[in-house]
Amino acid sequence: MKKLPRLGALLVFLAFSICAAYGQEEQWLEYRMFREPHKSGVVVAPKEVAFTASAPAGVSCPDSLTGEVRFARWETPMASGGVHMAVFKSKNSRVFDNIYVDSNCDGSLADEKPVEAYSSSANRAMFGPLKIVFQGADGPVAHHLNIVSYEYPGYKKILVASACWYEGEVTVRGEKFTCRLVDYNSNGTFDDTAMNFGDLDQIWLKGEAASDFERHFVGKYIQIGGAFYHPTPARDGAFVAFEPAKDATFGRVLVPQSVANLELGGANGFLALQIVDGAATVPAGKWKVVEWVSKTKDPQGAEWVMKGSQFPDDSVFEVVEGRDAGLDIGPPVSAGVDAGKNGSSYDFAEALKG
């Protein structure tokens, strides 16, 4: 290998150092997978997949695949035809305890081997982690899945959840963090943004002195150490980059004085805001409330804390540059009862509403 002149090597080193200091380069992460990712602190949203009793047109099946079978397809942007699967009962079994999965994404199950459930009962069979290999632009890309088949009276479902994530050390503005990139919506990619919190992916960061990870959404902005960056994760999760958001513009969000903490999220990212005098500075764009926390004291000096979350889809609001956006959140709230009919039975639940 030809050696660089000392000056050239020094310039390369300085250029790399500057990039690292400002977090503009692609920072590579390591692939992790686990049968129970929640035990490692990684939580994902399972995706329900519809199933049929007959094989989809064009999907070849093994000759041994007979009897009662449930065919399903996991939709992912990483495979144009999705990933086909078939859950079936092994010989003399009363439950769907085996599965075929199109692990090489070639649209066929005939070249696959059956996988037995690692845990099964009369009502549930659990499979995984099952390795899927996508054909990416730069070569094969692995992704692991956990699959659960449920069988209850009036409740038959197949759920698919990502069993993998990417993790590694990143440097942002000279500070080191442990970074986790999570396919939260379980669709095989790691760069999804959305206003619906269940349809986006997540970035988790933990500083060297921190005891736990902090959650962030994949979106336009990520707030680190009081500064805003544009996060750019690779679609396959292999790396992430953080670029200073020099183009960010801001407005203010106004809330009742009792609101002490406010979390906002959506396609623009995730913000955990400390409220000062009923206001917080927020990047311009559309947001949705993740959670608010209200703190008040009664005449006896006791502090009362109230939290609000689970806002409907139509609660999206917009922050405009240089303007104030008022949020009608926090107390007062009203107590009520929600009632619903489920078959021949009725369900009742207490509810507090703003």
When pLDDT is cut at 50, 70 and 90, the band that residue 343 belongs to is: confident
What is each CA distance from 171 to 18, 69, 87, in whole angstroms? 11, 49, 44
Residue-wise pLDDT tens digits, 147-179: 999 988 888 999 999 999 999 999 998 999 999
If one counts every other C-beta atom within 10 angstroms of the C-beta of residue 247, the result is 9
Would you give the DSSP letter of residue 91? T
143 CA to centre of own chain: 15
d(CA 83, CA 132): 8
Task: Starting at the earlier edge strand, list the strands of the sheet with 250-254.
Answer: 279-283, 250-254, 324-326
Task: Starting at the earlier edge strand, list the strands of the sheet with 47-49.
Answer: 47-49, 155-162, 139-152, 124-136, 119-120
Residue-wise pLDDT tens digits, 244-301: 999 999 999 999 999 999 999 999 999 999 899 999 999 999 999 999 999 989 999 9
d(CA 267, CA 217): 8
Helix (H, G, I), strand (E, B) or coil at 71: strand
SS3 assignment for 321-348: CCCEEECCCCCCCEEEEEEEEECCEEEE
CB 231 within 8 A of CB 218: yes
pLDDT value for 8: 39
- The position carrying tokens 């619906």 is 196
At 204, which helix (H) or strand (E)? strand 202-207
d(CA 281, CA 254): 9
Please say if the pLDDT value at position 42 is more than 70.
yes
If one counts every other C-beta atom within 10 angstroms of the C-beta of residue 79, the result is 22
Number of H helices, E strands in the chain: 1, 29
Please say if the pLDDT value at position 6 is more than 80.
no
What is each CA distance from 246 to 207, 241, 306, in whole angstroms? 23, 15, 36
d(CA 201, CA 134): 19
Residue-wise pLDDT tens digits, 87-103: 999 888 888 999 999 99
Residue-wise pLDDT tens digits, 9-33: 333 333 344 444 444 679 999 999 9
Residue-wise pLDDT tens digits, 203-212: 999 999 999 9
d(CA 101, CA 112): 7
Interstrand relation of 303-309 and 285-297 (parallel, antiparallel or unpaired): antiparallel
pLDDT value for 24: 64
